[in-house]
Amino acid sequence: MSSNDGRPSFLYSLKAVLWSFVGLRRKSDFDKDEVKLNPFHVIAAGLLAVALFIGILVTIVKLVVS
């Protein structure tokens, strides 16, 4: 699926998920994304973002404890 066929790419979904993690999404953006986003892309992006977040936390704890 490319961005040429009107469906958002995985990177678009990842961007939407990351902005949602930060909590800086506008209501209008959320309403647009609700209709356009592929649920499988959102789930994959969410799992990737959670893994990245946990990895960053573990790294910070290891640096502080060492």
How confident is the model over 42-55, as pLDDT tens digits? 999 999 999 999 99
Percent of the chain with pLDDT over 70: 89
For 45, the token pair is: 């992006």
The average confidence (pLDDT) of the chain is: 84
Q: How confident is the model at residue 4 (pLDDT cuts 50, 70, 90)?
A: low
Kindly tell me if the per-residue pLDDT of 27 is higher than 70. yes
